[in-house]
Chain A
Amino acid sequence: MPKLPTANSPKVAIFVDDKEVLVPGDTNLLEALKTVGIETPHICYHPYLPVSGNCRQCLVEQEGPRGRMLIIACFTPVTPGMKIYTPASSARVKNARQATSEFMLVNHPLDCPICDKAGECSLQENYMESAHQSRLRPEVGKQYHGNPDHTFVDSKGQVRGGKRVALGPRVTLDEERCVQCDRCVRFMRHVAKDEQLQLASRGDHTYITTFPGEKLDHEYDLCVTDICPVGALTANHFRFQQRTWLLSRTPSISMDDSLGANIWIDHNNGKIWRIMPRCNPEVNRSWLSNTSRLAYMGFTENRLASGDLNIVSDLLKHAKKVALVAGGACTLEDLAALKMLKDYLGDRASLFGGTLRPVLEADGISKSGDPLANRAGFKALGIPDNNLNDLMKHAADYDVLLTVHNDLFGDDEGAMILKKIPNRVILSAFNDETSKDATLVCGVNHWSEVTGSMINSLNILQKLSPAPTCPDAQLKPAYEVLSTLAGNPLTSAIAALQKVQEFVPALKPYSYENIRSTGVKLDGVLL
């Protein structure tokens, strides 16, 4: 894996286009140039994959003992005093990059109008940078747009031609668009550690394939569609759904795992079209598991309508002993509101928390295996994170159960014992197993629709942003519902965060404005 610059990287002076600049000294040239605002086009380089250096797009010139040589920026370590020439001053570099771009397009179909990657394709970006004055001319037999006979299915004089190859249950390959950068191969080999993909054959006949007859099938296989720089590997669930430039992106956190993978929620017209990993070097890097990625399909289905809070509040008023149960997808704000409710009910209420789902091993990529996403947040607020068994043991003592974002019955059959509690109030986004058996249900917003914050297993405070995709405008976030029950409605997330800060003074310095998109490391603050 390439070494990436950090805040602690030593600064060294190098000469770029004869100007002296200070760059991080412990990284490669491509990353170093990026830190001083020089973008180097690249196809095969990916910061979280081993360098393979095969696309030859990131060429720069270096002054060396044998004169100025073309080198690839992604593989060249920064050395103090090195002299680098970029296209800004070197016609040779400009030509070489242009040539590489053109070479890539020799066997590329240029079917951007029907390509799902259009808008986020490296080839398109590089083309704008360098190759728009193409010198290569079309070959005989090669058909281009503008040609009325263009049918999109012929091979256009190309050497590769597998179209719509079902590479696996979730991924489709269009071979003619492939530029053989081998990112997907390296991902499967070095990150997923399961070498299911390989480049077969050689020369310009090289093509991506699994072992014939086998399918690409892995928990992280959809990552190959993210890192594919062109439209060769596409995700079945997003194929021909939306043009990428029509999507709005909301940065959020996947609340199904305590690592809290950073995600983009891509949506328009109130509908989520896909979830993409959002790069966070310390958390999930550029990866996202299929489970987290495909979960969006259920976000708007099987939802609960908002309930009548007066009945709930009435019930709570007359309850003798109330069990308040927090679940996995609770944000810090929800937990603070729950705590308010506990304080409001006084001794009659006890707090419970945790999940009945099995806690698995961390996979080292984007999952810690712990389904209680905000476990660190539970600890920070002093809410028990693992005492559901106590509740089940003493179920008979309680007459009201109130759960927030916790599908107890769906997670474990053993929880059915809680049916002993006569009044079961469920605050949940979904009409899940627990809601079906409830005496009172009260629909709330899903985590993808709320502003909030959470602390992940690495003790990083991360924020969730709301995607405007809620199917029912009446729905409210769980913290609002809970605080209303507690008699002190928090009508905004900011107010809820302030409540959190009341409970946890250590979080005082943070607001939604100053929690960075990659989160804030709480080292020395909590735990």
Chain B
Amino acid sequence: MIELEGLTKRYGEKVAVDDLTFTVRPGIVTGFLGPNGAGKSTTMRMILGLDHPTAGDVRIDGTRYDRLEDPLTCIGALLEAKGVHPGRSAYNHLLCLAQSNGIQPRRVHEVLDAVGLTAVARKKAKGFSLGMGQRLGIAAALLGDPRILMFDEPVNGLDPEGIHWIRTLMKSLATQGRTVFVSSHLMSEMALTADHLVVIGQGRLLADTSMAEFIERNSRSYVRVRSPQRELLLDVLHQGGITAVAGGDGALEVDGSKAEYIGELAARHQLVLHELSPQQASLEEAFMQLTAESVEYHAHTGTPVPPQQWGDGWKRG
């Protein structure tokens, strides 16, 4: 259980996190979604007591983080940055963390085994690939067998097998009754793992809803119809009590009707159809719409990029 209340962080003039209030509940995976620079990592650092909030409050099971007596058995976190001394071995890294919380060294072997790093336990962390580093971070998060787990962009740098593994892991951790809070900037990733969704943009709360509700609300399903007899088709649809709107490319888009019904209707009036296809707006689109105004770093698709010649990079470099 993580409770945020009016959490705000300002760096000078710039507001990184703006009056966030939401609760992360146990037993489910809560996705924390937002475009790059939305304030996800800052929020997570404030939850962990690393950054002081400018205003507002965070509680971990009702307690402030810096008042926790047993931080690692209460909450385990994987932060975006690796956070490992490159010269220290995986085993020693986990051992010093375990010792700081009075956790038995036996547990270090257990978590190394759980993330599949036993073979490289004595190797220095600097030789680790991005994926191995991520696994080491997850091992550190699991060290205290905590009630609450927080992952910042956990699938970054993982291969497909690793991504599948972390998804399964997060779900099983939540099924055990733990609180799982995971950030991502990929809607598609969240759709596969999260039960609940918190969306922020430019530090502001944009949505706090269950995943099912979000999908239902945001995934518009419609039927696309294209016909050379467009006007006739519009009349027929109108008579049938169906409203159609003009889509791109001369097509018509019909909300809330089955493709079968439209097809039968057209057949009855002997109309030629060139296309009749059920469409589903992707969650990614819904997410982009939601955060459109709050994206900080826009790629300006409108303005043409000056044509690049081969070798430009060398001249500039």
Check if A and B associate: no
